[in-house]
């Protein structure tokens, strides 16, 4: 693939994803990405100062693809309890779908996210803030008890981790996983409701 004009950051990231898929995270180098683009490695370094920065950018883009549809669910104006349930279901379905439909890519990103602590930490914070926004609205309209939305949002994320955290990917093949997720959501939503 040759790029005669100025090289766009997105083109580098697209190519880096393909190189990661082909060689894996341990063997991917900036030189591999440059060769695939038919440019000098200095051209890639102008956009990304190191292999680590390039991998972090690829990881960030991958995680953004996961969180963007969740942002849409969090921003809806329907029932907060239904929205919270839909948000967690979508997160679980997205991660499990990637693992099922493209296990090679999922395994690659699972490895590189383990090495991108700051990027993953920011992603988790972003997901927790989306849940907190749903809880905050639920508290405001009386659907949920008056609780700390930030704390509750993070708790929901952690409590449902079995269904979306990559460390549990092997457990997603359980044929009753969806049923178990609904039971956890029922319990969480019951705990969030106001007591009369």
Kindly report the pTM of this predicted structure.
0.86
Asked which of 5-9, 94-98, 166-170 is least confident by mean pLDDT, the reply is 5-9
Residue 115: pLDDT over 60 = yes
| Mean local confidence (pLDDT), 155-172 | 95
Residue 135: pLDDT over 90 = yes
| Residues 50/52/55/60 CA torsion (nearest 10 deg) | -110
Where in the chain are all domains bearing CATH 1.10.357.10?
61-192
Of the pLDDT bands very low, low, confident and very high (cuts 50, 70, 90), residue 2 is: very low
Residue 194: pLDDT over 70 = yes
| Mean local confidence (pLDDT), 187-193 | 97
Where in the chain are all domains bearing CATH 1.10.10.60?
9-49
d(CA 69, CA 116): 22
Residues present in the chain in total: 196
d(CA 23, CA 32): 9
* Average pLDDT of the residues of the chain: 91
| Mean local confidence (pLDDT), 85-89 | 98
| Mean local confidence (pLDDT), 116-141 | 94
CA 153 to centroid of chain Cα atoms: 16
- Identify the residue with better confidence: 153 or 60: 153
Convert the pLDDT of each residue in 11-46 to its tens digit.
Answer: 999 999 888 888 877 788 899 999 999 999 899 999
> Which alpha helices (DSSP H) does 5-79 contain, by range?
9-23, 30-37, 41-47, 51-74
Residue 76's SS3 state is: coil
Class of domain 9-49: mainly alpha
Token pair 């079995």 is found at 162
Please give the share of the chain, as a percent, with pLDDT higher than 90.
68
CATH number belonging to domain 61-192: 1.10.357.10
């Amino acid at each position: 693939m040759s790029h005669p004009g100025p090289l766009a950051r997105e083109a580098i990231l697209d190519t880096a994803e393909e190189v990661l898929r082909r060689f894996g995270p341990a063997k991917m180098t900036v030189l591999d990405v440059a060769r695939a683009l038919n440019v000098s490695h200095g051209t890639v370094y102008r956009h990304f100062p190191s292999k680590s920065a390039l991998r972090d950018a690829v990881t960030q883009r991958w995680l953004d693809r996961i969180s963007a549809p969740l942002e849409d669910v969090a921003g809806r104006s329907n029932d907060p309890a239904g929205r919270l349930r839909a948000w967690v279901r979508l997160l679980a379905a997205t991660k499990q779908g990637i693992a099922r439909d493209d296990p090679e890519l999922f395994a690659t990103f699972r490895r590189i996210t383990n090495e991108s602590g700051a990027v993953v930490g920011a992603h988790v914070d972003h997901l927790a803030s989306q849940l907190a926004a749903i809880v905050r609205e639920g508290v405001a309209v009386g659907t949920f008890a008056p609780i700390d939305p930030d704390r509750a949002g993070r708790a929901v994320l952690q409590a449902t981790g079995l269904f979306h955290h990559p460390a549990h990917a092997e457990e997603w093949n359980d044929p009753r996983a969806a049923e178990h997720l609904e039971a956890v959501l029922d319990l969480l939503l019951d705990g969030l409701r106001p007591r009369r």
